[in-house]
Amino acid sequence: MTSEELWQAALGELEIALSKANFTTWFKNTALTQFENDQVTISVPNTFTKAWFEKKYHRAILDTLQRIGGRPIKTITYQVGGRSSFAAVPAITMAPISAPASRGVASTTGNGLNPRYVFSTFIVGKGNELPHAAARAVAARPGAAYNPLFIYGGVGLGKTHLIQAVGNEILASDPTKKILYVTCETFTNDFIHAVRGGNAKRFQDTYRGVDVLLIDDIQFITGKEGTQEAFFHTFNALHQTNKQLVLTSDRHPKAIPALEARLLSRFEWGMIADIISPDFETRVAILEAKCQEKQYQLDKNIVSYIATMIQNNVRELEGALNKIVAFHQLKNIPPTLEFIKKMLASSQPIRKSVTNKQVLQTVSLFFDIPQEELLGKSREKRLAFPRQIIMYLLRTELQASFPAIGLELGGRDHTTAMHACSKITREAEEDPKLKQDIELIKQRLYNG
Amino acid sequence: MRFSCTQENLVQGLSMVSRIASRAGNLPILSNIYLKTTATGLELRATNLEIGLTCMVRGKVEEVGEFTVPARLFSEYIALLPKDKVDLVLAGSELQVVCGKNKTKIKGMPAVDFPVIPQVENGEGGEVSLPALMEALEQVLFTISPNEGRPEISGALIVLDGSHLTVAGTDSYRLAEKALITSGTDKSAARAILPLRALQELVRVCGSLKEEAATAKIIMSSNQFALSVPTVEFVSRLIEGQYPDYKAIIPTRFGIKAKISRAELASALKAAGLFSKTGVYDVAVSFNPEKNEVEIASLNSQTGEHASVLPAEVQGVGTKIAFNWKYLLDGVQALRGENIIIKATDSASPTMLTEEDGTDYFYIVMPIKE
């Protein structure tokens, strides 16, 4: 038994013997650092713990260790900390305060753009070629290329980066242009304030007086009828005067529930581009670019390991890198592949377990079809297809048996379920749109 | 336990310790105050397992004993009592408080579960003037901010070197250092990083002790700091780690030097601050050696603009540097004396503020890069 295992076993016993409050207060960050013959050294985080162990818990610790270790212990020494003595003296530099950074998100002109988001820092790969090219075109000829530009895709894939880069690029080439970046929430709030405060004129001036309007996460407009109408009029006013609109959403406009038809048709007017998860090469490129930005050297093996482990979210990718860099700087230990494996394993969220019911619910919401219809007898195409996706998900995500799947979906035969699963598997490989939809459903299933 | 004292004495003791008792924590007993009657009086203790404070209250001890009661409840209640004699009697699991015609029973917890406040072992130290220590802490404290990424600078460095005690702090945008005289021997040498929270409490403790004692004893070990006067002892844990070598970044040469009235500069900065950009807090400071003037100006597209010209003795190459006006003002206010010296080079290098007649304190601030 290693000293670490021994201490863990002892903690296990002590945890039961003590109250939870006492245990977490006193035994957090303790370790057994030495266990030789009858001498034991326990490292404690501070002198308060040391004093308390000596006075109060000495007997209990001694008894427990003797019992688990199976040999008599003569002395236990409690040592405070212990790792500080050989750490190198950290350097400190004082850099001038850079003005834009201290401005935060909202800059002085109040256009809501974060100057950090520019095209030059956006890594282009297979998954985002189209939206990137479209965004560039819009930035080059605002109001003329694609109007509106609608970008959709999953969480942390760079939608906000792209939409803000459009604004920053236009501003860079023509600082007189009036650009406004808002989230859908801000737009809604502004509208509500305008209605409540009776200053609709000001709301109109703000939103209709701009050259470029960028709205992030437009899907949140769903269900807000008043806001949809306000947005509809704003949209028309801007579009008619050839002012550029760029919108982002986490799903295709058709998949936004409770969206008015006149808005939907307007969203589809210009260009709809989707961002999908970056492929392996792009993920590596992103990591390398981030390393360069931070002026941090990271081993090639480590980079490709991280890129293999984190697949669906650029933000997580960056987070993992930040964690490694921070750890290195704080503890002064260069990261090894072993260490990173451990770190990523501990930070990987445990996948939420989902139930049949949740799958049904999520798909029903996604396609905006009531559950009863999905479970009903009708074999209309608009019902059959989502039904097949449910069957596919039940099979792939929940490992349900074919007869069980059939039963779950209104008592259908198991061969129906088998057909559905093989059909969706085949089609998803050929049709990226379907693949993306399934990804989105899964994302909502596990994150929702 | 049976004890009597004046209400004022008890209030004074409680006001010092009750703030240390933490309100939210894992261990409920940490929100209590520990009371112990000894031959010499009533001892009050509170700790949050980072800081510990022990305080003696003068009074008449009739029976020794110990107990703990909720800090907030007890101190708020005692403060409401008339200025009269207060009797404390322990009866079972309740503390009886009798003062004039007021009679109360406060429920508490047994003292055996109250943590021990550790004594400093193998420490080095010396005597230091309390008002001087308090001033030094206040002159440095404002440069320190909580910084999870760099724990070693989220506290003040305290260095004992012979008969000198140095206090330094930085948040990597500004830096302050103050030197004090102690009665330490030539051999005494110790370094400690005292956490921000402990610094704040220490300033408060120094403030309330000023009338009681002129000097205090400081002891530092590798993991603890203690300050004591005969009736009060303050103990804090230290931040583990090495403090960065800040001396390396103190510039020795500057392009321009100005001697300027401290009060005039402070009010000019406050005025300019009103018209600085929101979130940037920038004011432009122009040094003009030809006219012997320093101009403080600011501009905000929404509120307006401002400029004031101050007479000064300026030597060197004229330049214009933008500063965060709050950072600059913090330094100006921490300095003492009628006139101060500003030494600067350009908007990429540190600017130093010192007193006209005094070498024991300096403040360094980084400009805003345009």
> How many Å apart are CA A303 and CA A291, to the nearest integer?
10
Binned at pLDDT 50, 70 and 90, residue A82 comes out as low
Contacts of A48 in chain B (CB under 8 A): 47, 49-50, 52, 115-118, 237
pLDDT of residue A100: 47
Which among B115, B151, B366 has CB closest to A96? B366
| DSSP code for A254 | G
Q: Do B25 and A52 touch (CB under 8 A)?
A: no
Q: Is A157 exposed, middle or buried (0-12, 13-18, 19+ CB in 10 A)?
A: buried
pLDDT of residue A178: 86
Q: Which domains does chain B have, with CATH numbers?
A: 2-113 (3.10.150.10), 124-247 (3.10.150.10), 251-365 (3.10.150.10)
First to last CA, chain A: 43
Q: Do B118 and A47 touch (CB under 8 A)?
A: yes
Instruction: Work out the minimum CA distance from B218 to partner chain A, whole angstroms.
Output: 17
Query: Which of A177-191, A214-228, B183-197 shows the lowest mean pLDDT across its residues?
Result: B183-197
Q: Do A330 and B149 touch (CB under 8 A)?
A: yes
Dihedral angle sign, alpha carbons of residues B210, B211, B217, B219: negative
pLDDT cut 90: percent of chain A above it: 10
Helix/strand/coil (H/E/C) assignment for every residue in A56-86: HHHHHHHHHHHHHHCCCCCEEEEEECCCCCC
A104 has a chain B CB within 8 A of its CB: yes
pLDDT of residue B234: 95
Report the run of H or E that residue A421 belongs to, with start and end: helix A414-430
Instruction: Work out the minimum CA distance from B24 to partner chain A, whole angstroms.
Output: 12
pLDDT of residue A277: 82
For residues A3 and B217, the model is more confident at B217
Strand-pair partners of B126? B218
Q: Are strands B282-288 and B293-300 parallel, antiparallel or unpaired?
A: antiparallel
Strand-pair partners of B235? B52, B226
pLDDT in tens, A117-163: 888 888 888 888 899 999 999 998 888 888 889 999 888 888 988 99
pLDDT of residue A85: 47
Residue B76 has pLDDT above 90, yes or no: yes
Which among A21, A87, A108 has CB closest to B301? A108
- Scanning A327-386 for CB atoms below 8 A from B yields 329-330
Taking a C-beta distance cutoff of 8 angstroms, is the pair A220, A184 a contact?
yes
Contacts of A50 in chain B (CB under 8 A): 118
* HSE-up (13 A, CA, CB side) for residue B8: 2
pLDDT of residue A103: 34
Residue at token pair 């003797």: A66
- The edge-to-edge listing of strands for the beta sheet with B85-91 is B60-63, B2-6, B85-91, B94-99, B102-107
pLDDT of residue B91: 92
Which among B117, B170, B369 has CB closest to A92? B170
Closest residue in A to B148 (Cα–Cα): A330
pLDDT of residue A84: 47
Contacts of B116 in chain A (CB under 8 A): 48, 51-52, 55
Which among B116, B280, B369 has CB closest to A55? B116
Which among A51, A87, A94 has CB closest to B249? A94
Q: Do A97 and B153 touch (CB under 8 A)?
A: no
Q: Do A94 and B280 touch (CB under 8 A)?
A: no
pLDDT of residue B238: 92
Question: Taking residues B220-236, what's their average pLDDT?
Answer: 92
A105 has a chain B CB within 8 A of its CB: no
Taking a C-beta distance cutoff of 8 angstroms, is the pair B274, B283 a contact?
no
Enumerate the H helices of chain B as residue ranges: 7-17, 71-80, 130-141, 196-209, 262-273, 325-334
> How many Å apart are CA B367 and CA B370, to the nearest integer?
9
Taking a C-beta distance cutoff of 8 angstroms, is the pair B191, A85 a contact?
no
Q: Which domains does chain A have, with CATH numbers?
A: 3-80 (3.30.300.180), 104-275 (3.40.50.300), 280-347 (1.10.8.60), 356-447 (1.10.1750.10)
Taking a C-beta distance cutoff of 8 angstroms, is the pair A355, A408 a contact?
no
Taking a C-beta distance cutoff of 8 angstroms, is the pair B312, B292 a contact?
yes
Q: Are strands B368-369 and A97-98 parallel, antiparallel or unpaired?
A: parallel
Question: Taking residues B325-341, what's their average pLDDT?
Answer: 94
- The edge-to-edge listing of strands for the beta sheet with A271-275 is A179-183, A212-216, A244-249, A149-153, A271-275
Query: Which of A234-238, B83-87, B328-332 shows the lowest mean pLDDT across its residues?
Result: A234-238
Closest residue in A to B52 (Cα–Cα): A48
Q: Please, which residues have CB within 8 angstroms of residue A167's CB and are 6 or more apart in sequence?
A: A111, A113, A179, A181, A212, A214
pLDDT of residue B10: 95
Report the run of H or E that residue B215 belongs to, with start and end: strand B215-220
pLDDT of residue A87: 56
Structure tokens at A36: 């030789």
Residue at token pair 């001036």: A205
Q: Is A384 exposed, middle or buried (0-12, 13-18, 19+ CB in 10 A)?
A: middle
- ipTM of this predicted structure: 0.80
Question: Taking residues A17-21, what's their average pLDDT?
Answer: 86
Full-model pTM: 0.59
Residue A208 has pLDDT above 80, yes or no: yes
Number of helices and strands in chain B (H, E): 6, 26
* HSE-up (13 A, CA, CB side) for residue A43: 12
Binned at pLDDT 50, 70 and 90, residue A346 comes out as low
Specify which of A282-286, A288-292, A319-323, B328-332 reaches the highest per-range mean pLDDT: B328-332
Residue B351 has pLDDT above 90, yes or no: yes
Contacts of B47 in chain A (CB under 8 A): 48
> How many Å apart are CA A374 and CA A382, to the nearest integer?
10
C-alpha of B18 from chain center: 18
> How many Å apart are CA B316 and CA B286, to the nearest integer?
12
Residue B331 has pLDDT above 70, yes or no: yes
Instruction: Identify residue A213 by its one-letter amino acid code.
Output: L
- CA dihedral (A170, A172, A173, A179) in degrees, to 10, reads 30
Nearest by Cα to A270 from A252, A234, A245, A249: A245
Q: Do B249 and A93 touch (CB under 8 A)?
A: yes
Mean pLDDT (chain B, rounded) = 91
